[in-house]
């Protein structure tokens, strides 16, 4: 079999081959369906991609992106014409590995087919009970969350707009692990579904629905699910490595005591009695359920959990140990929470459908759903705009970026939430922040006061002010426009102190 380096080199060779023939053959291949040499090259790449994704140590999925194909499809002439959308979608389904995530994100937005209306709808939630309030709202009106004019307000606050909307999904997802619907794995920090039968299945449906709404509106969420869940949401085939991501401690125990290549038949016979209690059917299949606490599944294709597995009925032995370990993990990970998991997936797909499923790898899906966990300050710097008389060459702006670069990872995330309402950058990085992050000396519009604002929270200058903010003022933001109002502090230390104080007081306010 090929090594990791061999596969990487082969992928590079195919990319070079495609690039050399890109201009003369690519359009005909994509839009006319001609069977050219480019077609054969993509076919080979597809074969390598699928084998690679099943490997224990796969080559990163980004290695398969084709720069020339991505640039070709990024042009507006391809993603705006209705007659091109069907053809491009078909190409994406056949070769999902060839196009980078920002371009896929553009097309996904075009293919989302939820019907909209023009009426306005808002919901109001308390910060301290955001999960329960949001779930209660979703019980009463699912359609509200899919409205293009849907917005969120926090009880006792006047803030409204995209920044508050993003903050809602940030806080909802951040608090979700505490909900009774989930249990936390202390070893991984990930959450998984609670098998407690006293928890109504409707709760799992509505959680899936709300996460789907966040995905639909492209709001990065602070979720902590194992990679395995994204495989299930995409309908991908499950391999042993995927199950291991839910409970790596259990998986490592299995590797050591059951799957170790040095084990003999006698060793396996000693541990076989531990598996005798596993009375699973020979094939684990999806079941249809309906009732007062369930959402009926009209099509088995809609929520296929890929749990179908032929399980040998004979006792564990050296030859069938891999099947038994997979069976054991499936039982521990999937079967015990199959009802809860199924309702969660149905809720998610109620919003997002299934059109996105063939286009994404599980890693890409996680990036779209959760954003980029690491805040790249250099990336932010490259894509930040300046206003009110500031420019990137000003000493205060240089001090600003030096201060941010010295922040630890947690402080960088807090800064990003302070300005944008989200702990994470969207998939595609700072270039895809909309509107772009802007550092301003003067507010571009009068700031609206927030009623019941504690005195510790940074208060912007009074509306109508046309002078630069006083140097004793803290920085403040308009998260709806991703705008940071930064007073012209005289030195780096003053800037750092004021910025840290503003971020800290903003966090105190959001946690009240």
Active-site residue, 370 included: no
CB atoms within 10 A of CB 315: 13
Please tell me whether residues 420 and 501 are part of one structural domain: yes
Catalytic option among 22, 352, 370, 480: 480
487, 461 contact by CB (below 8 A): no
Which CATH number covers residue 165?
Answer: 3.90.1750.10
Closest Cα partner for 103 from 130, 68, 63? 68
Please tell me whether residues 478 and 498 are part of one structural domain: yes
Q: Is residue 39 part of a domain?
A: yes
Burial label, 325 (beta-carbon count in 10 A; 0-12, 13-18, 19+): buried
* pLDDT tens digits along 319-354: 888 888 888 778 888 889 999 999 999 999 988 888
User: What pLDDT does 425 receive?
Assistant: 92
465, 443 contact by CB (below 8 A): yes
Please tell me whether residues 143 and 172 are part of one structural domain: yes
Q: How far apart are CA 490 and CA 293, in angstroms?
A: 62
Tokens of 285: 């299949």
Q: Is residue 384 part of a domain?
A: yes
- Report the domain count for the chain: 3
Q: For the CA atoms of 94, 95, 101, 105, what is the dihedral angle to 10 degrees?
A: -20
Alpha carbon separation from 442 to 434, 455, 461, 464 (Å, rounded):
20, 22, 10, 11
* pLDDT tens digits along 381-391: 999 999 989 99
User: What pLDDT does 327 receive?
Assistant: 81
Please tell me whether residues 148 and 80 are part of one structural domain: no
Residue 61 lies in domain: 4-99
Please tell me whether residues 360 and 223 are part of one structural domain: yes
Among positive and negative, which fits the CA dihedral 155, 158, 162, 163?
negative
Query: Which residues of the chain register pLDDT less than 50?
Result: 80, 114-120, 279-304, 306-312, 444-457, 459, 462-467, 512
User: What pLDDT does 4 receive?
Assistant: 82
User: What pLDDT does 275 receive?
Assistant: 74
Residue with tokens 């917005």: 151
Which CATH number covers residue 412?
Answer: 3.30.2410.10
């Amino acid at each position: 079999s090929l090594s990791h380096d061999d596969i990487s080199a082969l992928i590079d060779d195919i990319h070079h081959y495609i690039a050399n023939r890109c201009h003369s053959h690519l359009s005909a291949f994509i839009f006319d369906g001609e069977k050219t040499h480019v077609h054969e090259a993509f076919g080979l790449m597809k074969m390598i991609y699928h084998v690679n994704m099943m490997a224990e140590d796969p080559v990163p999925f980004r290695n398969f992106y084709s720069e020339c194909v991505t640039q070709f499809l990024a042009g507006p002439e391809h993603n705006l014409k209705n007659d091109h959308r069907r053809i491009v979608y078909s190409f994406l389904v056949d070769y999902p590995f060839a196009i980078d995530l920002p371009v896929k994100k553009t097309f996904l937005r075009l293919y989302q087919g939820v019907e909209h209306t023009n009426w306005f709808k808002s919901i109001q939630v308390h910060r301290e009970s955001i999960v329960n309030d949001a779930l209660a709202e979703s019980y009463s009106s699912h359609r509200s969350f899919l409205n293009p004019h849907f917005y969120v307000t926090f009880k006792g606050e006047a803030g409204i707009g995209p920044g508050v909307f993003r903050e809602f999904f940030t806080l909802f997802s951040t608090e979700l692990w505490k909900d009774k619907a989930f249990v936390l794995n202390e070893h991984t920090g990930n959450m998984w579904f609670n098998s407690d039968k006293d928890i109504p299945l409707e709760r799992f449906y509505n959680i899936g629905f709300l996460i789907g709404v966040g995905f639909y509106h492209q709001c990065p969420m602070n979720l902590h699910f194992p990679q395995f869940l994204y495989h299930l949401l995409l309908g991908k085939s499950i391999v042993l490595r995927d199950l291991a991501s839910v409970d790596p401690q259990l998986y490592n125990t299995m590797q050591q005591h059951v799957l170790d290549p040095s084990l003999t038949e006698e060793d396996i016979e000693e541990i076989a009695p531990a598996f005798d209690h596993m009375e699973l059917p020979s094939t684990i299949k999806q079941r249809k359920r309906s009732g007062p606490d369930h959402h009926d599944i009209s099509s088995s294709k809609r929520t296929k959990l890929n749990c179908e597995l032929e399980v040998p009925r004979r006792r564990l032995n050296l030859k069938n140990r891999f099947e038994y370990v997979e069976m054991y993990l499936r039982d521990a990970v999937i079967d015990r929470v199959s009802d809860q998991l199924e309702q969660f997936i149905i809720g998610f797909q109620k919003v997002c459908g299934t059109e996105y499923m063939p286009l994404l790898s599980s890693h890409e899906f996680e990036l779209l759903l959760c954003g980029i966990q690491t805040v790249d300050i250099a990336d932010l710097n490259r894509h930040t705009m300046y206003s009110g008389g500031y420019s990137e060459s000003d000493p205060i702006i240089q001090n600003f970026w030096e201060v941010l670069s010295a922040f630890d990872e947690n402080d960088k995330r807090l800064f990003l939430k302070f300005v944008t309402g989200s702990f994470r950058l969207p998939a595609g990085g700072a270039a895809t922040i909309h509107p772009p992050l802007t550092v301003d000396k003067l507010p571009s519009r009068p700031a609206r006061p927030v009623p019941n604002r504690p005195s510790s929270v940074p208060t912007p200058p009074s509306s109508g002010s046309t002078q630069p903010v006083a140097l004793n003022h803290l920085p403040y933001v308009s998260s709806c426009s991703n705008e940071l109002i930064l007073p012209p502090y005289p030195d780096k230390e003053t800037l750092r102190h004021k910025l840290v104080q503003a971020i800290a007081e903003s966090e105190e306010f959001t946690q009240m």
